[in-house]
Amino acid sequence: MKKIESVSNPLIASLYKLHEKKYRDESRKFLIEGHHLVEAAGRTSGLEMVLIANENDAVSGVENILVTEAVMNKLSFTKSPTGIIGVCSFFEEPKLSGDRFLLLDNVQDPGNLGTLVRSALGFDIDLVVLNSKSVDIYNDKFIRSTQGAIFQTKLLKADLNLTIQELKKAGVTVIGTSMENHTPIAALLPPKRYALLLGNEGQGINPKLQALADQVTYIPMNDKLESLNVAVAGSIIMCYLSGNLKK
């Protein structure tokens, strides 16, 4: 097994650059950290290499490099490195196809986006479409908060206006979300093919996009709370639309 002991080794230096979006986009590679994520990536064809602090952590089928603690600390995203880092190639860009879509307009928080992707996987969403202002899909905090779900989810960055128009032409029902004054979720008849539209944490959905929705729904609550967290609201609606809340 190849060993690297120096933090100034050229490979380590080039991998370190993958902490920045600019270099990820250039090399079309990204880093992931931790056994759980590396395992999830290993079930896809995207895992290219692993760097391990301990020989026993070697992963079969890919190149393994044994590194020192100093190297691991340099590449790690966290204060307490887990001892394994994977190098992955960018996902193939999926096509706009399927029956159930999640459309995200300017979701900014990596944790919220990760949680939404996790729920989308569990509630049968075929494709997640994000506009260009949403979090980078190779951001480490985002990937961590998907808990590996990202490796089983199709993600597409695209203009949401064009996407919605295309989906509507294809007969997909576009469901906007709001805080009140629309169709309460329990009155919504889950369409067979739908696209659920969620907006920014503070501003909500861009009114121009909302205006394109076939229906607008909201989750009734008492009047003490202004709004639910966007990942929570989206997950409740996805769960409802999946039919899993019906007897």
Footprint of its own copies (CB under 8 A): 111, 115, 118-119, 121-124, 145, 147, 149, 152, 184-187, 219-222, 224-229, 231-232, 235-236, 239-240, 242, 244-247
Q: Closest CB to its own copies among 184 and 207? A: 184
Smallest distance, its own copies to C-beta of residue 186, A = 5
* CA-based end-to-end distance of the chain: 55
Beta strands in 135-241 (DSSP E): 155-157, 173-177, 183-184, 194-198, 215-218
* Tokens read off for 212: 């394109």
What's the gap between Cα 228 and its chain centre?
20
Q: Shortest gap between Cβ of 196 and its own copies (angstroms)?
A: 15
Q: Of 134, 185, 143, 169, give the one whose Cα is nearest residue 36.
A: 143
Nearest to residue 130, comparing CAs of 99, 96, 98, 173?
96
Q: Please report how close the Cβ of residue 1 comes to its own copies at its closest, in angstroms.
A: 30
Q: How far is the CB of 244 from its own copies (least distance, A)?
A: 4
Q: Are 159 and 182 in contact (CB under 8 A)?
A: no
In the complex, minimum distance from the CB of residue 202 to its own copies, in angstroms, rounded to a whole number: 10
DSSP letter, residue 200: B
**Looking at beta carbons only, is 44 or 165 nearer to its own copies?**
44
Q: Which CB sits closer to its own copies, 32 or 66?
A: 32
Minimum Å distance from CB 189 to its own copies? 11
Query: Closest Cα to residue 138, out of 11, 9, 234, 26?
Result: 26
For residues 87 and 107, which CB has a smaller minimum distance to its own copies in the complex? 107
Q: How far apart are CA 137 and CA 130, in angstroms?
A: 9
Query: Is there a contact between 101 and 172 (Cβ–Cβ < 8 Å)?
Result: yes
The residue among 65 and 107 lying less far from its own copies, judged by its C-beta, is: 107
Cβ proximity to its own copies, 14 vs 152, nearer residue: 152
How far is the CA of 74 from the CAs of 6, 13, 44, 228, in angstroms? 10, 9, 26, 37
Whose structure tokens read 């990942």?
231
